[in-house]
Amino acid sequence: MKRKVTKAVFPVAGLGTRFLPATKSVPKEIMTLVDKPLIQYAIDEAREAGITEFIFVTSRGKSALEDYFDHAPELEAELERKEKTELMDVLRTTYMDSGAIAYIRQHKPMGLGHAVWCARRLIGNEPFAVILPDDVIAGDKPCLAQMVEAYEETGGCMVAAMRVPEQMASSYGMLDVESDSIDRKISVKGMVEKPAPGKAPSDLAVIGRYILTPDVMNTLNAGRTGAGGEVQLTDAIAEEIVRGRPVHGYRFEGERFDCGSKAGFLQATVSFALDRPDLREEFSQYLADIVPLVRAAE
């Protein structure tokens, strides 16, 4: 009998060097798309998928991330005094119940697989999700919720998958596909982390959403390094295939933004702003005015 997925690991120990100097004092996960931090999008997605236990793998300098989920009595009192009930409702979405959230330190940057392994004692013998906050996915139904529904049919391990151009394959873990069905579930026979140019087994890349069995932790225990000299999560998932356990990809519905890059972050900001009824008219008018000027300057 498959167990429900109620735990999620959020690897947030990275230094965010591509966003320096901002990330010198502000964790990348607190940087905002419009008026909501990246981490809040990830938490909201997890909640929609039925996650009730949240495990953050952090590092030094992430105290602002921990504070973000704490209660703010002074701010709450001020909003109540001014009868700003809508802002009070927004504030409450950032609170986490006592005991619902845990923080684990990753002392050395040894890769995504190592970050997930750091949470092994809190995972125990249960299936769990992994969410990378850098990957923001906009869709009618949250990506992880789509995957949880599919996982209820497949069991095993499941990774979010997206088609990428051939020239970008060397930046991703790529799937070796056995079969691809019309219901978006992909049977996987192998995975390759950051293949050399022209060597990718397909055009389907692994994106930052995973549902994993606790067996993956046993492989990560070995601490074997892969691409870049790091402990790669994709290598541990690929080992599940070698051992005869099912691994599936899931071609999610929605648009993914790579907010680990500056260009991706800006694209997400524009997209999310245009999706907001309170901003759409003014912002779209600004874009309509400025685009001809940019083209003329070229």
CATH of the domain at 12: 3.90.550.10
Range of the domain at 72: 7-260
And the tokens for 145? 């919720």
Q: Is residue 279 part of a domain?
A: no
Q: Is the pTM of this model over 0.85?
A: yes
Number of domains in the chain: 1
Q: Is residue 33 part of a domain?
A: yes
Q: Is residue 274 part of a domain?
A: no
Nearest to 134, CA basis, from 26, 37, 235: 37
Q: Is residue 148 part of a domain?
A: yes
Q: Is residue 277 part of a domain?
A: no
Q: Is residue 16 part of a domain?
A: yes
Residue type (1 letter), 118: C
DSSP codes, 145-203: HHHHHHHHHH-SEEEEEEE--GGGGGGSEEEEEEEE-TTSEEEEEEEEESPPTT--SSS
pLDDT 10s digit of each residue in the chain, 298 long?
Answer: 567 899 999 999 888 889 889 888 888 899 999 999 999 999 999 999 999 999 999 988 778 888 888 888 888 888 888 888 888 888 888 888 777 889 998 888 788 999 999 999 999 899 999 999 999 999 999 999 999 999 998 889 999 999 999 888 888 888 988 877 777 899 898 888 888 888 888 889 999 999 999 999 988 876 677 766 778 898 889 888 888 899 999 999 999 999 999 999 999 999 999 999 999 999 999 999 888 877 776 6
Give yes or no for a contact between 264 and 258, defined as CB atoms under 8 angstroms apart: yes
And the tokens for 87? 């802002």
Q: How far is residue 297's CA from residue 134's CA, in Å, rounded to a whole number?
A: 32
Query: First and final CA of the chain: distance in angstroms?
Result: 61
Strands 185-193 and 204-212, by their bridges, are: unpaired
Q: Is residue 293 part of a domain?
A: no
Q: Is residue 254 part of a domain?
A: yes
